Amino acid sequence: MADAATIPENLRAKAQEKGWPDDLLQQALAAGASPDQLISYMDRGISAEQARQVMAGQQGAAAAAAPAATVPAATAAVVAAVTISDELRAAAEKANWPLDLVEQAVGIGASEADLLNYMNMGVTADQAREFMQQQAGGASPFEPDLSWMNVPTEWNTRARPTKHGLTLDAINIGKYGDVPDVWPFQTEMPRGAVPIPGVEGMGYSIFEKQEVWSDACAPLYEEAIQRRWRPATDVPWDSIQPLPDDLERAICQICTHISEKEQNEADILGRWEPEISYGYHEVKLYLATTIFENARAVEVFRKRALSNGGGLGVQSSGWGFRSVVDARNFTEMSTIQMVLHDSITLGQYIYGEKYAKNAAEKFIFAHSIQDKARHIAYGITHLKYALLNRPERREEVQRYLDKGETMLVQDDRKDPSTRAAFAIYFGGGKDNIGEGLRIYDEMRGRALRQYLARLKWATLDRTERLHPDLKAVLEAAS
């Protein structure tokens, strides 16, 4: 034992408050307890008598039971004064935690409930002991483990900015640009990092490249980031002047319809994001921009509806939404949403731009065109990738589109408000709704023609298989 230890002032003050005499303090300090530990014991209500008894009578046994190198004698002595419930004792036995470890943990303030939780979670006795040692500032000093600095990842990587800046494609070099056909990890480990054993899975369900990939998703992500716009300040809101009541009601109904379906797309893509494993982070990033752009569309069309004396209209019948919500795999969802539905929506935007009644609406539709065309670009390039890599999925995709088109037709039949609102807007008023309906049909025909052309680019010919009602629209418009 060392010479009588010096008692710090704060420890002496606490000891006087709690009735611990100086000789007990010196004995504990000499046994290896730190001043902070002793203050902590006093604060937990351990009396001088309890401490003295165990220091005097049980020090040897406690020190022998606990690993001498890890538990100071004074700590072992003090914790010996605690009592352990039968439930905790049984749980400790089951979890292979020695009783002295449990006593030590309770002695330094751990609750029984917490200890039971740790045991049930599978925390081992060694892990608990190590943790307690660190918390107590134990005998062995903390030595940083620097083995991670020798991690066998690809080193000396020096990506260089391009004319577009330092893009995702620019950093996809060497091993980091190797996108595997199957991603074998269930954790959130970044592609190119080194896995460690024992990490918990993150619940991903998509591990095959063909299920989500598009070679365009990295440049589309960069494009979306670069071409962003701000509805609050970029739209020339002052250009909006009072419109005749029928036209204001029409544009407000159109805004209601668009807000609803853009929110639906955001919600759906948001549900798929956590399904895609980290190996395909370019896809995850691109979809995040799509969700953001959906949100921006919800924002800007809602703002238009509420900015000129009007308000929102009636909701949509929602048949088309369900065909996307109910999709059971990613390619089914993306093909119906980002090829079929977004082709229809893009058609509405390009005709909205043409028939805009003021510079604000012109701006809104024109910028929404850009965003929506990007969504389609992902949908169609992914479809092409999936079909080229899994040609046996061709009929499967045709069936998804059968369903999607059928639900779209249901919306046409059950949702007269959208068609009439566009017709009034295009025609310039209720009195010219006949001309407006002609333009509406022209819009649908054009959108369907472009939809088929895009599918053809993706190697899927749907000319003959198009839903009969849509085929009729196409033929009438040509």
Partner 1 sequence: MPVFPSVEWFEALKNIVNSSPEFRHNGTIDTVVGVKAGGKIFELTFEAFECERVREATEDDLRDMDFWMEQDDETWKAMIENIKTHGKADLAFTLNTLDLSQAGEGLCRSHDGYRRDAFYRFNQSIQDFFDASAKIDTQFAAAVA
Coil, strand or helix: which one is 306? coil
Cβ pair 416, 255 in contact under 8 A: no
CB of 408 to partner 1, least distance (A): 20
CB of 353 to partner 1, least distance (A): 5
Q: Which is nearer to partner 1, 230 or 394 (CB)?
A: 230
Q: Which is nearer to partner 1, 94 or 354 (CB)?
A: 354
Q: Which is nearer to partner 1, 174 or 429 (CB)?
A: 429
Query: What is the separation, in whole angstroms, between the first and last Cα of the chain?
Result: 101
CA distances from 362 to 144, 249, 304, 414, 478 (A): 61, 18, 12, 29, 27
Coil, strand or helix: which one is 146? coil
Q: Which is nearer to partner 1, 85 or 226 (CB)?
A: 226
CB of 415 to partner 1, least distance (A): 24
Q: Which is nearer to partner 1, 10 or 162 (CB)?
A: 162
CA distance 293 to 289: 6
Contacts of 320 (CB under 8 A, 6+ apart): 261, 341, 404, 407, 408, 410, 411
* Residues binding partner 1 (CB under 8 A): 162-164, 219, 222-223, 226-228, 346, 350-351, 353-354, 356, 359, 362, 366-367, 369-370, 372-374, 376-377, 380-381, 446, 450, 453-458
Q: Which is nearer to partner 1, 228 or 430 (CB)?
A: 228
Q: Which is nearer to partner 1, 107 or 352 (CB)?
A: 352
Number of H-type helices and E-type strands within the chain: 23, 0
CB of 175 to partner 1, least distance (A): 27
CB of 460 to partner 1, least distance (A): 11
CB of 375 to partner 1, least distance (A): 10
89: amino acid identity, one letter = R
CB of 447 to partner 1, least distance (A): 12
CA distance 353 to 244: 19
Contacts of 200 (CB under 8 A, 6+ apart): 187
Q: Exposure of 337 by Cβ count < 10 A (0-12 exposed, 13-18 middle, 19+ buried)? A: buried
